């Protein structure tokens, strides 16, 4: 029997697991895995690994995940690596999808087969009452089959200057808060992860490119490449969201000519030698030095996890780091 993992932000996975039991009865080889506000990517990954280890058949595993591009999806994608021939992920988890998945296990023995089958049921489960509110289908414009070649060097698009809707420091880079809340607020047409480390890590690079929200392209580039892009007039029609893993990467990009006036600070993970400054931000001595340099250059630091948060006082956060690192 195919093992099923229900993965979500918060208690949603537990709730829908309970709802499924109420409708379809208790099910074996099904485990809800939740990412709670106080937890990080490694926590939900461990929960998923433990769930898989408990399944009778670990060869066939289906992940039903709440949100494409979120941390549960990203960690499921990492586990999927090397198992693509047997395992599968379906996002947009809803109750019709779950019930159909349970029913399908009686006649289907492959995770891929069930994943392909339940997509339509999940989509049909989204209904509107009254029916008149349903959007009318529009004819899709015909797309030219002519190949779209590379833009010739020297071409100027727009005003010739790339636009930065947001530049963010976030250890987790592209995850649920970024893929949904920030993308909807900023409206970029391209998300660019600027990191030498990630650019040379094929697995992480692939996961980030897959996690891009609909209608937005995601790229991973080394810092020097981003400096070149910032000076290339062919990107004048691009509105970008830049994601940096560390303040050091951001500083290097800015020094190289990437015209950023403000940095959003989302999260900086704790590690040895760092002190906890807030629930989401930890700093070491090199981080403090880097932020001092950024501030001296006139760069504003906006501390918010999501757009609706009230900005935190960065001066107080930096002061706390300096005090505790003495």
Whether 39 is covered by a domain: the verdict is yes
Q: Do the beta carbons of residue 102 and residue 6 sit within 8 Å?
A: no
User: In whole angstroms, what is the distance from residue 240 CA to residue 109 CA?
Assistant: 43
User: Is the confidence at residue 138, as pLDDT, over 70?
Assistant: no
Question: In CATH, what number is assigned to the domain containing residue 182?
Answer: 3.40.35.10
Which member of 112, 117, 175, 270 is catalytic?
175
Task: Quickly state the pLDDT bin for 139 (edges 50, 70, 90).
Answer: low
Q: Which two tokens stand for residue 137?
A: 């289908």
Question: Is residue 9 annotated as a catalytic residue, yes or no?
Answer: yes
Residues 244 and 298 in one domain: yes
Q: 100: Cβ–Cβ under 8 A, 6 or more apart, which residues?
A: 117, 118, 121, 122
Q: Do the beta carbons of residue 48 and residue 62 sit within 8 Å?
A: no
pLDDT in tens, 65-77: 999 988 999 999 9
16: containing domain = 1-123
Return the closest-CA partner of residue 87 out of 210, 3, 197.
Answer: 3
Cis ω for the linkage preceding 130 (within 30 of 0): yes
Q: Do the beta carbons of residue 176 and residue 70 sit within 8 Å?
A: yes
pLDDT in tens, 246-274: 999 999 999 999 999 999 999 999 999 99
Number of domains in the chain: 2
End residue of a domain, out of 123, 146, 181: 123
Question: In CATH, what number is assigned to the domain containing residue 31?
Answer: 3.40.50.510
Question: Is residue 175 annotated as a catalytic residue, yes or no?
Answer: yes
Q: Which two tokens stand for residue 66?
A: 């709440």
Residues 41 and 187 in one domain: no
Q: For residue 217, give Cα distances in angstroms to 29, 191, 208, 234.
A: 36, 6, 10, 16
Return the closest-CA partner of residue 178 out of 311, 253, 67.
Answer: 67
Residues 170 and 114 in one domain: no
pLDDT in tens, 114-129: 999 998 888 888 888 8
């Amino acid at each position: 029997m195919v093992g099923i993992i229900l993965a979500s932000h918060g208690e949603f996975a537990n709730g829908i697991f309970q709802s499924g039991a109420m409708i379809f009865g208790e099910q074996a080889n099904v485990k809800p895995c939740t990412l709670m506000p106080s937890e990080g990517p490694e926590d939900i990954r461990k929960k998923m690994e433990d769930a898989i280890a408990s399944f009778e058949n670990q060869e066939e595993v289906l992940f039903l995940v709440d949100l494409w591009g979120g941390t549960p999806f990203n960690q499921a994608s990492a586990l999927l690596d090397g198992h693509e021939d047997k395992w599968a992920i379906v996002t947009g988890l809803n109750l019709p999808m779950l019930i159909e998945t349970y029913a399908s296990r009686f006649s289907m023995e492959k995770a891929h087969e069930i994943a392909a089958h339940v997509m339509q049921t999940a989509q049909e489960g989204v209904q509107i009452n009254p029916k008149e509110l349903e959007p009318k289908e529009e004819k899709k414009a015909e797309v030219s089959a002519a190949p779209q070649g590379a833009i010739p060097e020297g071409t100027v698009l727009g005003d010739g200057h790339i636009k930065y809707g947001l530049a963010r420091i976030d250890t987790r880079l592209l995850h649920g808060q970024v893929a949904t809340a920030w993308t909807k607020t900023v409206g970029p047409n391209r998300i660019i992860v600027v990191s030498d480390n990630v650019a040379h890590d094929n697995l992480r690079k692939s996961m980030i490119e897959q996690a891009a929200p609909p209608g937005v392209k995601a790229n991973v580039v080394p810092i020097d490449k981003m400096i070149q892009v910032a000076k290339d007039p062919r990107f004048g029609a691009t509105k970008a969201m830049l994601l940096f893993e560390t303040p050091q990467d951001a500083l290097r990009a800015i020094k190289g000519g990437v015209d950023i006036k403000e940095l959003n600070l989302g999260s900086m993970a704790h590690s040895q030698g760092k002190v906890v400054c807030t629930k989401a931000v930890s700093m070491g001595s090199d981080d403090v030095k880097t932020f001092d340099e950024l501030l001296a250059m006139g760069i504003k630091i906006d501390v918010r996890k999501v757009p609706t948060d009230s900005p935190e006082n960065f001066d107080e956060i930096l002061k706390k780091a300096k005090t505790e690192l003495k």
